[in-house]
Structure 1
């Protein structure tokens, strides 16, 4: 059955080194909608430049993104790890520009910084220094949150999102200029894709790995799932581990990766895998 609801655009702003966190961001939004939207008569629509912008000439890329996506955003969620993002003509990065202009417009922003360990040989020192300076500037202007695993980010963002929806005046107001009231049917909810968000992230990362390989190793006290210099099993929480191991099985079932070891420890991306990965927007 359809019902009337107010739709709020929730934008994720982040550099390209937090693909897994971006996937979690969308999952938390979709889960909130599934549980709350019909009762609360509120729908949260996750948006980003990669899904809500279209080709246009006549201005710089970031200016076009600002016009097409940022200006219609009600809530912005910024996520960082080791990179600040690509510099623009006005700001240190496109991500920082989106955040600063959103805040300057008097709109709500929630910022998260990952403290997950990184291989420093793979870290761009200039990017990291720019990020440190931006993070330092944020200390004097509000509150931000840190996390050290995907599981912790999921828990914190889910809790904080609920707090904002319960308490912030924007969500309680009957009239909001930046939101739209419309009839919501079942098709408004994202159709479950053939791949989970974790599987999409894993496939995109292995397609960018120089050897096109994924290693999955179990050891006493934990496990590691690695590709492209990243470990996706940083958390020992069984629920989190199961999600990523299920993503690995999905890629196998779809013939997107093939096992090369004898103990399920090494996998290589297939030609089909590369084709599908190229269609996934990072």
Structure 2
């Protein structure tokens, strides 16, 4: 059964020494969506300067990132280990400026500091001293979290996301503004005779297997991802022909009322009642 949900952008902010944690943060957000988005009526969309910014020459680099990414974020996850980052021109680092701008807008942020061992010779003493100073400042202003290794980071983040989305006033206001989950209007009875492409049929069948009937369409520097039931349908990212086939498949399903766009940027879709009924018919014919 389809349902409505609000898509909230979650910015992952960090210096360059926590790449594994950045990837785990994205994975944890997707896992949270699979488990909680229907009940919470919220989808958490991971974004960052590396995936959601584009070249521009109308401001300093961090100013452009602020406009393209930070201002669009609803929640910020900050991650640190041994570095604070490069000064941005307005703050001690780009990451610090992102956090300050985000908090100044009245939006929630969760900051994580790694206590994992590190080789002394690999540490920039100036960067480490700046990080310790920033960490102490954060302790005075709020509550931070520490972790011992990437696996522990992913585990604690999962729990913190549940707590923040359920209890923080920012997300409570989002749910109040969006109202209760609306039951979508009934769609016309599906026709198995619909002239769908093979890709559209395969995508519908895979999406119908997903517990939430969700399809995610996201374009990053790594190419296009069309994900259904935890499976990326695009077998050759960055191949123009392959990407066009799967983008077309998404468009076909939406145009035929078999799938509905439930986000506001064309990235999150749900199988409709008509879509489920057609998927059942197609599965019986297979």
Distance 2:56 2:213 in 1: 31
- Structure 1 residues 115-134: Cα deviation after superposition (integer angstroms, max 9, x where no partner): 00011111111111111111
5 Å-filtered alignment, 1:56-205, equals 56-173=56-173, 174-175=175-176, 186-188=214-216, 191=227, 192=231
Distance 1:122 1:176 in 2: 49
**Stretches of 4+ moved more than 6 A in 1?**
none
- Structure 1 residues 97-127: Cα deviation after superposition (integer angstroms, max 9, x where no partner): 1011111221101000000001111111111
- Structure 1 residues 204-241: Cα deviation after superposition (integer angstroms, max 9, x where no partner): xxxxxxxxxxxxxxxxxxxxxxxxxxxxxxxxxxxxxx
**By how many angstroms is 1:139 displaced?**
1.3
Q: Could you say which residue in structure 2 is the equivalent of 1:22?
A: 22
Distance 2:159 2:86 in 1: 30
Q: Could you say which residue in structure 1 is the equivalent of 2:7?
A: 7
Contact 1:88 1:94 in 2 (8 A): yes
Q: Secondary structure at the match of 1:12?
A: strand
**By how many angstroms is 1:5 displaced?**
0.8
- Which one has a bigger Cα radius of gyration? 2
Question: Can you give the 5+ residue segments of structure 2 that lack an aligned partner in the other structure?
Answer: 185-211, 218-224, 234-286
Q: How many residues align?
A: 190
Contact 1:2 1:186 in 2 (8 A): no
CA RMSD across the alignment: 2.2
Q: Output the TM-score relative to the length of structure 1.
A: 0.63
Question: Can you give the 5+ residue segments of structure 1 that lack an aligned partner in the other structure?
Answer: 195-282
Q: Output the TM-score relative to the length of structure 2.
A: 0.62
